């Protein structure tokens, strides 16, 4: 995600999402200025988040009161001339259901659940206005977390701060109120459940070849210990396989493709949220290995359907045991491949402050700030060159490489971002979403 510059005369009527046009992101305080800005920057993710709010609360209208402001206009309205509005990463917005406004306290709670790190409750002192900005998406020098209440000020005249952004406790709001439109309860997990979608992917040729590699080719029917039926070809198992049956590679490949159909259906049917082709491939491979029933009841799929993409990713390596609950090296290698398909290239948000190491494992040293990328230095707790490089909670990282580190006692998962390796899971603890 990045900043896009729009020409108001040419692009003003363009819809960036189903309910928000380019012209709505131009701040009214600039309309009276001469010259008026011809182009305005808009972060690509702003319309996406606005739509999530709109849909979660079943809105009929969303009104941006303030979007991009020129530095001069920002000063005119009491700003510093260099805040998030001046770089196109902030909006002040109101939402309505019919004639009824959606209270800011509900919107603020929802935004915090989405992982937004710049939130202003009661924007401008109005209980129905909400400010939010994308200060953690790497396009603004100030990346400090800010959770404020614009209806209150401290003795120095600064907006009151909301500790840890816990708008639920601060405003006395329940989860049932925030997610009532989606039918959620107060006991629901802390991740908003995404809109239910229907996936209709088919397995890629690359994954078909990978499944063939891991299953191995058996030209003759074999009966494995503890199994009721014979197996032949690329893992085909069932009552239709005879004791003395043989098969060619071409026949086995065609049989594999037919077998895969039911596992594709299992993934498409049980996964209720949108996933990518590579994530679908990973789940089909996992399902082919563990079975249709197991994938339907798995924590992996449950996490996905709850919107816990990070938990789903790091759960995949857990499926490493075969018959008799024995850990198998072959399954660990297969899970590593599936983990790569599922998580590589994806964006994740850290849920805790995390060390940046030189390799995948706690045995590797923590990097110093001077050893990480210049962009990464913006997100560390202590920017001193010689200090340990520790990313702040809420930092978004891209997993350029992923690795499961296995031991007899547990599974750890590590992601490599441009600055170095970060632990995504250790044992039962998960640090990404």
- How many whole angstroms separate alpha carbon 353 and alpha carbon 320? 29
How far apart CA 182 and CA 215 sit, in angstroms, is 41
Q: Any idea which residue has 């995949």 for tokens?
A: 316
Q: Which residues of 194-231 are buried (b: 16+ CB within 10 A; e: fewer)?
A: beeeebebbbeeebbebbbebbebbeebeeeeeeeebb
Place of tokens 């339907």: 296
The dihedral sign for the CA sequence 370, 372, 378, 381 = negative
Q: Is there a catalytic annotation at residue 264?
A: no
CA distance linking residue 80 with residue 77, whole number of Å: 9
406's tokens: 């296995």
Among the listed residues 24, 177, 195, 215, the single catalytic one is 215
Q: Which H/E stretch holds residue 205?
A: helix 205-215
- Contact (Cβ atoms closer than 8 angstroms) between residue 316 and residue 365: no
Q: Which two tokens mark 75?
A: 């000063």
What are the tokens at 218? Answer: 């058996």
Q: Is 344 exposed, middle or buried (0-12, 13-18, 19+ CB in 10 A)?
A: middle
CA quadruple 59, 64, 68, 74: dihedral, nearest 10? -140
Tokens of 34: 């001469």
Note the helical H segments in 121-184: 167-171, 175-179
For CA atoms 421, 423, 425, 427, the dihedral sign is: positive
Phi and psi at residue 420, to the nearest 5°: 150, -165
Residue numbers annotated as active site: 215
């Amino acid at each position: 995600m990045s900043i896009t510059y729009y020409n108001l005369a040419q692009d003003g009527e363009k819809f960036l999402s189903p309910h928000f046009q380019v012209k709505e992101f131009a701040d009214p305080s600039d309309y009276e200025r001469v010259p008026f800005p011809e182009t305005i920057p808009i972060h690509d993710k702003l319309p996406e988040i606005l739509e999530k709010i709109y849909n979660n609360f079943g809105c009929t209208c969303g009104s941006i009161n303030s979007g991009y402001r020129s530095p001069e206009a920002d000063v005119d309205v009491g700003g510093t001339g260099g805040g998030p509005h001046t770089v196109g990463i902030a909006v002040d917005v109101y939402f309505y259901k019919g004639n009824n406004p959606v209270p800011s306290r509900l919107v603020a709670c929802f935004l915090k659940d989405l992982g937004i790190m710049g939130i202003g409750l009661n924007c401008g002192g109005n209980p129905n206005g909400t400010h939010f900005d994308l200060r953690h998406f790497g396009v603004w020098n100030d990346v400090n977390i800010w959770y404020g209440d614009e209806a209150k000020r401290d003795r120095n005249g600064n907006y009151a701060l909301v500790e840890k952004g816990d708008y639920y406790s601060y405003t006395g709001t329940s989860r049932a109120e925030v997610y009532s439109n989606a039918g959620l309860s107060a006991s629901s997990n802390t991740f908003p459940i995404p809109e239910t979608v229907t996936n209709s992917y088919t397995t890629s040729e690359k994954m078909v070849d990978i499944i063939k590699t891991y299953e191995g080719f058996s030209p003759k029917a074999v009966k494995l210990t503890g199994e009721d039926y014979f197996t032949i070809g690329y893992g085909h198992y069932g009552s239709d396989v005879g004791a003395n049956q043989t098969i060619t590679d071409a026949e086995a490949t065609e049989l594999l493709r037919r077998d895969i159909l039911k596992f594709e259906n299992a993934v498409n049917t049980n996964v209720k949220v949108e996933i990518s082709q590579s994530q679908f491939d990973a789940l089909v491979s996992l399902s082919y290995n563990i079975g249709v029933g197991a994938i339907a009841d798995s924590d992996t799929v449950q996490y996905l359907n709850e919107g816990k993409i990070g938990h789903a990713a790091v759960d995949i390596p857990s499926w490493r045991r075969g018959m008799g609950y024995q850990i198998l090296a072959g399954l660990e290698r297969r899970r590593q491949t599936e983990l790569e398909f599922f998580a590589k290239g994806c964006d994740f948000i850290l849920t805790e402050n995390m060390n940046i190491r030189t390799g995948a494992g706690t045995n590797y040293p923590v990097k110093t700030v001077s050893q990480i990328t210049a962009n990464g230095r913006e997100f560390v707790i202590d920017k001193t060159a010689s200090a340990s490089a520790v990313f702040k909670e809420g930092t978004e990282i891209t997993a350029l490489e992923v690795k499961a580190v296995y031991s007899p006692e547990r599974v750890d998962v590590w992601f490599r971002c441009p600055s170095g390796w970060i632990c995504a899971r250790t044992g039962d603890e998960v640090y990404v979403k």
